[in-house]
């Protein structure tokens, strides 16, 4: 027997079947597979280890003390969790030293080290008033680096007094060794320092934001005032100044810094060391239509350009630059070279590069994209990667020879495969899920995909069987100009036409219609379906994994084509007899909140009610790297910015509008909703407002999330019922 969903079901994490292993890794010896997991099915995780030769998985690190709540976290740690979109508690991060059976486990501002899965957990850096941030072991495992009070420190992994190896940032508004907001939030570069292979030197960033005006956020729901009840953020608004970032190299023992030449480069996107001791850096220009890869001479700090990428659309950053080893399978012309990925063809594909950056050969091609580089077997001359070749809504594992040839598909089960490889032993960990299957972690053979062991079955969660979670139906339809669009339908029982709700994100980046368990545990859509609403998710143009032409169709003009594609989806539903055209609503968060408001304003004949959560209402109020990638700067594209703001179209709103925002949202500031409210007042347009005084961009409080779901469901029941 199944039961209907409740608001508590929808607002409580983890969702059914999703308490799955995360941060899966093989120990350097290959003897264990480790991962974070909650045996109780909660958000509080421990570190587990399973012998790859056989035997049960066992807990090897549990969170000591009060590591199972956010209560004791510093503001810096809470903001870092926001950038990482991290909900888990307890042990939330860990890492093996690259060449040593030693673990680094940071918990609640302290840092612990453990030798092997059976070793004793030792506190190396105690918790202090100022937290130790981004702790990481050197490759050999002998040294531990971390950042505290804006400076970089190194300490022996055996314990002792940490040595401060950088200076001059503390108290000045600068930082050493930390990624800035733009790098973390938009470039997905969460590191601000990098160990060399020998553990003797560290490359690190110096970030200067002192020239950026402070943006103050008050904790209006706080019981106190003053310190602790307000935050100041150096937020780089579109068209304004960016942080000034320098890249330096310092010895593990401190001393003089070698500053590397980044003159003229707007964004430092990626940094890594090569085995030969060179530092590589990827940079972007302000327009993000030029990416350059530099190698640096550490003696002089001077640079040489290995390659450059240009685009008439924009450059999407990736993490697929990988140095090649000197194995027998590496072609002679590529010795000392590297793998690279590029969208020059319109789709992200892999190529083999020589040491000087010149092209040796393209490894993949076609109207599909490579999602990620999974591993390299330099002895066999094979590259392993995940891609959309089988279906743009799936992610499968493939291999291709460094000598060229057709890729070979390895994983066969439909769905999304997140893989971790142990190439030396010919095996991989596969976390696979689909609409019909919750996340399932297995150990498999790289040769033939044979199942070697089962580590986790998401279907064991009793809520999977208890709740009525019918997988949505995948459909394909056409935009007004014939472009193929993918959608998913949550269909209620009975005969249509039904009151209909569009579940939208709509912005560049996420693809939301996938062969994924996340589709089936979209519990808000499922609750609305159970209450008689038809819900549609549709990936409009601008969304990812369909190639640059599909993604770049919205360049310099947001909130127009995306809305028209969503309208095409509604019209298709009406033609099918599924949607009642007089009772259509829309909801979304962040870019989806923007889309909800724009849909009401630009297509009022279609949308009768909308929920706009944390909406970006005018792009001049969002950050540089994200906004300018798609819109250019306000100075160069003033008409586009005006046309793409919700406020420019407020007069068109006829339907009911519910605005939702967290008052301490440091990503999409409440100012966005406040500016829209001013425009609504001037236009004498009615609106409803739901505020969460203690929430940021991603609501975390359980009571807040449950109340949020209750209000959204009640809004649509009233307006479309």
Active site (catalytic) residues:
590, 665, 697
Tell me the DSSP string of 163-187. Answer: EE---S-TTTTEEES---HHHHHTS
For every residue of 454-511, DSSP letters joined together read EEEEGGGSHHHHHB--PPPEEEEEE-TTS-EEEEEEE--SS-S-EEEEEE---SSB--
**Phi, psi torsion values for 464, nearest 5 degrees:** -60, -40
136 Cβ partners below 8 Å, 6+ apart?
95, 104, 144, 145, 146, 193, 195
Under 8 Å between Cβ of 526 and 469:
yes
Longest pairwise C-alpha distance within the chain: 75
Q: Would you state the torsion angle of the CA atoms of residues 286, 288, 291, 295, taken in this order, to the nearest 10 degrees?
A: 40
Q: Pairing mode, if any, of strands 498-503 and 473-478?
A: unpaired
Token output for 579: 């949607």
Phi, psi of 696 (to 5 degrees): -95, -145
Euclidean distance between CA atoms 601 and 591, whole angstroms: 15
* β-strand pairing of 58-61 with 44-51: antiparallel
82 alpha carbon, distance to own chain's centre:
11
Question: Which two tokens mark 677?
Answer: 């409210």
If you count DSSP H runs as helices and E runs as strands, how many of each does the chain have, helices first? Answer: 13, 44
Measured in residues, the chain has a length of 721
Contacts of residue 358, defined as CB under 8 A and 6 or more positions apart, other chains included, come to none
Alpha carbon distance 326, 331 (integer Å): 9
Tokens at residue 288, please? Answer: 């993000």
**CA separation for the pair 2, 471 (Å, rounded):** 15
* CB of 693 closer than 8 Å to CB of 221: yes
Q: Count CB-CB contacts under 10 A for residue 603.
A: 19
The CA distance from 99 to 101, in Å, is: 7
Q: How many CA atoms lie within 13 A of 417 on its CB side?
A: 30
- Bridge partners of residue 215, in order along the sequence: 233
Beta bridge pairs of residue 366? none
């Amino acid at each position: 027997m199944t039961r209907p969903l409740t608001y508590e079901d929808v607002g409580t994490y983890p969702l059914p079947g999703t308490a799955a292993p995360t941060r899966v890794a093989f120990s350097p010896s290959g003897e264990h597979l480790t991962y974070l997991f909650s045996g109780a099915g909660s958000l509080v995780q421990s570190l587990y280890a399973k012998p790859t030769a056989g035997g049960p998985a066992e807990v090897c690190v549990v969170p000591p003390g009060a590591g199972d709540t956010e209560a004791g976290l510093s503001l810096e740690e809470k903001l870092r969790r926001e950038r990482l979109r991290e909900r888990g508690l307890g042990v939330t991060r860990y890492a093996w030293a690259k060449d040593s059976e030693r673990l680094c486990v940071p918990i609640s501002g302290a840092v612990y080290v453990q030798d092997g899965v059976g070793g004793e957990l030792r506190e190396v850096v105690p918790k202090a008033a100022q937290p130790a941030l981004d702790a990481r072991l050197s490759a050999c495992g002998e040294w531990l680096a971390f950042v505290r009070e804006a400076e970089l420190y190194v300490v022996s992994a055996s314990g002792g007094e940490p040595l401060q190896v950088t200076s001059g940032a503390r108290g000045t508004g600068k930082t050493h060794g930390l990624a800035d907001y733009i790098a973390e939030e938009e470039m997905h570069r969460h590191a601000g320092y990098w160990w060399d292979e020998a553990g003797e030197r560290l490359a690190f960033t110096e970030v200067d934001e002192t020239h950026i005006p402070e943006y103050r956020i008050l904790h209006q729901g706080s019981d106190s005032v003053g310190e602790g009840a307000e935050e100041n953020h150096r937020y780089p608004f579109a068209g304004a100044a960016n942080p000034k970032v320098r890249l330096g190299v310092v010895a593990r023992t401190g001393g003089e810094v070698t500053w590397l030449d980044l003159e003229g480069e707007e964004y430092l996107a990626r940094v890594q060391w090569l085995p030969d001791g060179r530092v590589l850096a990827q940079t972007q220009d302000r327009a993000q239509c030029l990416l350059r890869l530099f190698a640096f001479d550490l003696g002089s700090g001077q640079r040489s350009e290995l390659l450059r990428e240009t685009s008439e659309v924009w450059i999407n950053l990736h993490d697929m630059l990988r140095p090649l080893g000197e194995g027998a399978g590496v072609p002679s012309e590529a010795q000392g070279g590297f793998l690279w990925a590029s969208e020059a063809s319109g789709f992200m594909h892999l190529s083999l590069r020589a040491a000087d950056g010149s092209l040796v050969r393209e490894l993949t091609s076609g109207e599909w994209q490579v999602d990620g580089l999974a591993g390299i077997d330099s002895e066999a001359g094979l590259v392993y990667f995940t891609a959309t070749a089988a279906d743009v809504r799936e992610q499968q594992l493939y291999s291709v020879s460094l000598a060229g040839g057709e890729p070979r598909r390895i994983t066969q089960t439909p769905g999304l495969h997140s893989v971790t490889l142990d190439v030396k032993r010919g095996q991989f960990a596969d976390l696979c899920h689909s609409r019909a299957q919750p996340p399932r972690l297995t150990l498999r053979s790289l040769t033939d995909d044979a199942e070697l062991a089962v580590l986790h079955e998401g279907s064991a969660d009793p809520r999977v069987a208890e709740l009525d979670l019918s997988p949505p139906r995948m459909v394909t339809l056409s935009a007004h100009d014939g472009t193929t669009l993918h959608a998913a339908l949550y269909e209620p029982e009975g005969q249509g036409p039904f009151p209909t709700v569009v579940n939208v994100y709509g912005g560049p980046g996420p693809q939301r219609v996938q062969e994924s368990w996340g589709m089936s545990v979209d519990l808000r859509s499922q609750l609305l379906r159970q209450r008689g609403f038809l819900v549609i998710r549709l990936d409009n143009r601008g969304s990812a994994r369909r190639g640059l032409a599909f993604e770049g169709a919205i360049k310099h003009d947001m909130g127009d084509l995306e809305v028209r594609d969503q309208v095409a989806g509604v019209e298709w539903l009406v033609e099918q007899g599924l949607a009642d055209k007089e009772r259509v609503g829309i909801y979304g968060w962040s870019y989806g909140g923007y889309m909800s408001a724009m849909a009401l304003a630009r297509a009022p004949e279609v949308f009768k009610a909308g929920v706009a959560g944390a909406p970006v209402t005018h792009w001049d109020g969002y950050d540089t790297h994200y906004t300018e990638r798609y819109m250019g700067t306000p100075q160069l594209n003033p008409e586009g910015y005006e046309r793409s703001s919700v406020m420019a179209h407020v007069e068109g709103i006829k339907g009911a509008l519910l605005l939702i925002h967290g008052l301490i949202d440091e990503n999409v500031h409440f100012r966005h909703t406040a500016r829209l409210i001013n425009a609504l007042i001037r236009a004498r347009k009615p609106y409803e407002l739901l505020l969460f005084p203690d929430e940021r961009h991603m609501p975390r409080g359980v009571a807040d999330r449950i109340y949020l779901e209750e209000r959204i469901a009640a809004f649509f029941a009233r307006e479309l019922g």
